[in-house]
């Protein structure tokens, strides 16, 4: 399947939950944009986009089973669910393994082992920060610790109007 076909399949899977659909479209758009601005290889870009589209696949199940969509459960359940979801889409076993790994780690900011992983984290961060109204301090903190690509850093500053800081912490301009 192509990216639009996988996106449509994920929208159908979301069964009219507009919040979930809007979220995954935002994360996909930011992740895709960062990957293309960074000039990622086609194969890595494809994996990152599939992972962005499917990353929160376990949210409905977790709401039902645990009453929330908190971190660890969602990663564990998602890693399993996404394998089932991607069966029959024509992705190779290796591609499905990697997407499953990314879905299973998208709340884990340590040991980020590839650009597909890094830009998924960045796309999800920008989306969560905008949907949940993160404070400027926590966005600046993410710029120091989580957001690593040049395009991701620029986008974060542009979306949230964050001005560059001088070394002593004061705001310029
Ligand atoms: Fe998300």
**Torsion angle (degrees, nearest 10) of CA 41, 72, 137, 32:** 20
88 CA distance to ligand 1 middle (Å): 24
124 CA distance to ligand 1 middle (Å): 5
At 166 the pLDDT is 57
Is 86 strand, coil or helix?
A: helix
At 38 the pLDDT is 98
How far apart CA 131 and CA 75 sit, in angstroms, is 20
94 CA distance to ligand 1 middle (Å): 23
At 15 the pLDDT is 95
Cα separations (Å) of 85 from 71, 99, 102, 108? 20, 11, 14, 22
Which pTM does this prediction carry?
Answer: 0.93
128 CA distance to ligand 1 middle (Å): 7
pLDDT digits (tens, 9 = 90+) for 86-136: 999 999 999 999 999 999 999 999 999 999 999 999 999 999 999 999 999
65 CA distance to ligand 1 middle (Å): 18
166 CA distance to ligand 1 middle (Å): 31
Query: Which parts of the chain have pLDDT scores under 50?
Result: 167
54 CA distance to ligand 1 middle (Å): 9
7 CA distance to ligand 1 middle (Å): 15
164 CA distance to ligand 1 middle (Å): 27
Torsion angles phi and psi, residue 90, rounded to 5:
90, 0
């Amino acid at each position: 399947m192509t990216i639009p076909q996988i996106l449509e399949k994920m929208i159908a899977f979301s069964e009219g939950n507009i919040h979930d659909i809007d979220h995954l479209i935002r994360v996909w758009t930011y992740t895709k944009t960062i990957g293309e601005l960074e000039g990622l290889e086609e194969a890595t870009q494809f994996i990152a986009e599939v992972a962005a589209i499917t990353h929160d696949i376990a949210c409905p199940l977790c709401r039902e089973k645990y009453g929330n969509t908190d971190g660890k459960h969602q990663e564990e359940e998602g890693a399993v669910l996404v394998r089932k979801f991607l069966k029959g889409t024509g992705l190779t076993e290796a591609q499905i393994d990697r997407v499953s790994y990314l879905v299973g780690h998208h709340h884990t900011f340590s040991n980020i082992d590839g650009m597909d992983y890094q830009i998924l984290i960045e796309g999800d961060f920008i989306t969560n920060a905008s949907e949940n109204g993160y404070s400027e301090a926590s966005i600046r903190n993410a710029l120091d610790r989580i957001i690593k690509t040049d395009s991701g850093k620029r986008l974060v500053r542009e979306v949230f109007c964050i001005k560059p800081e001088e070394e002593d912490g004061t705001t310029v301009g």
